[in-house]
Amino acid sequence: MLMMTTYRTRPFMSKDETKELMEAFATHGTTEGTIAHYQFADGGGGVVISDLESAAVGYRNILNYTEWVEYESVNLVEIDEAIPLIADALS
C-alpha cells in the first residue's frame, strides 16, 4: 500500500525540543518501506512516501514523534492504476 504522510513540526518549538526531536529521529529513523522523505524548505515539516504492507507499520513509527510533530496520512493509487478506474466509473 502506497501512503503519503505530510508532517508539520509543532509551532514555536524551543532549541531543546528540536534537539530532542533530532535525537528521536537518530534513534528511530523513518518507516520501513520509505521510498522518499523530503523536508519542506521553510523548515516547518516535510513529506514521506512509503510502500507499506500495513498502515500499522507507519502508525507505529509515527508514535515515536507525536510529542513534536503533527501528521496527516493518505493512501495513494498510482496514476496508471487510477485512470482505468476513473474511466470505468465514468462509463
For the chain, give the secondary structure using H, E and C.
CEEEEEEEECCCCCHHHHHHHHHHHHHHCCCCCEEEEEECCCCCEEEEEEECCCHHHHHHHHCCCCCCEEEEEEEECCHHHHHHHHHHHHC
pTM listed for this prediction: 0.85
Q: Which CATH class is domain 2-90?
A: alpha beta
Tell me the pLDDT of the chain (91 aa) as tens digits. 999 999 999 999 999 999 999 999 999 999 889 999 999 999 899 999 999 999 999 999 999 999 999 999 999 999 999 999 999 999 9
Domain-wise residue ranges, the chain: 2-90
